[in-house]
Amino acid sequence: MSISQINALISLIEDPDELIYQQVKMEIENGGERVLPFLEQYSEFNQYGILFQERLDELIKAIRFKTLCERFKEWKESETPDLLDGVLLVNRYQYPNADESEIRHTISRFRQEIWLELNDNLTALEIVRIFNHMLFEVYGFQGNKQNYTAPQNSFIGDVIASRKGNPLSLAVMYQLLANSLEIPIYGVNLPSHFVLCYLDSYALPGSITEDRDHAVLFYINPFSEGTIIHANEIDEFLGHMDVPRQSAYFGPCSNISIVNRMLNNLVYAFSQSGKDCKVQEVRHIQEILKEQF
């Protein structure tokens, strides 16, 4: 589709004939991501009526969502789905124009500053103490206990800006930084909670799967500022919840599992606030990831 064709189609968005608009809408949406900059430019500088703006916003939203779904599919099908890439896609759902390079830069800065505190002679527990000091004392991350279920807790940009998150988002920050420093800390997908485990040996983040045995040294609870816990405490937690013991509750989960759980949290948050359209959209994204489970 040429630039002149795109502009011609956009000029027909305000056509009062619904059949004509539906045809125009279909052709614009088929143009995909390439058409977005033109639509956004019209949205910013247009001097058209309310109907034009409403339809323009509808088209922008539809194309953005379709493009996002395609990115999730590509991410899922990649050889080793990267955790940061995955949580940035979740962030993009709510903030399509967010500066992702700034988020990456902030995480990279955190990584560098933590690296300066480490040395090759540290034990696993000493490494965790340094991580806890940097994340919770120096950077000021903390559990968002007052707004535990708020959707903002699932968007990494908001978590970094506010320094507040739920158990999952705090664990994600912890794991991202640890893995970037080749420290074998990974998420553990507990029912109604999320913690981390410190493995006895290093595995590439993308190679972590729920059906492999992994030797765990101990567990970390980022929601309580990195408290160390052990397998017997996981057992007690499951017992209190009357949940049958499963090996998956004692070992690392995959990056796809983490992103899927983040989406689950969003479904719950949007359901609580009556945002049914967003619930449907997030569930659609989950369907894209579903065949991995």
pLDDT at 202: 62
pTM, two decimals, is 0.89
278 three-state secondary structure: helix
Task: State the pLDDT at residue 293.
Answer: 42
Own/partner pairs, 115-118, CB within 8 angstroms, 24+ separation: 115/181, 118/181
Instruction: For residue range 166-209, list pLDDT tens digits in order.
Output: 999 999 999 999 999 999 999 999 998 999 999 987 655 555 55
pLDDT in tens, 210-267: 545 569 999 999 999 999 999 999 999 999 888 888 888 999 999 999 999 999 999 9
CA angle 187, 208, 121 (to 5 degrees): 70
Strands (DSSP E) found in 6-122? none
| Calculated CA dihedral for residues 284, 147, 152, 189, nearest 10 degrees | -60
pLDDT tens across 100-145, in order?
A: 999 999 999 999 999 999 999 999 999 999 999 999 999 999 999 8
How much is the pLDDT for 71? 96
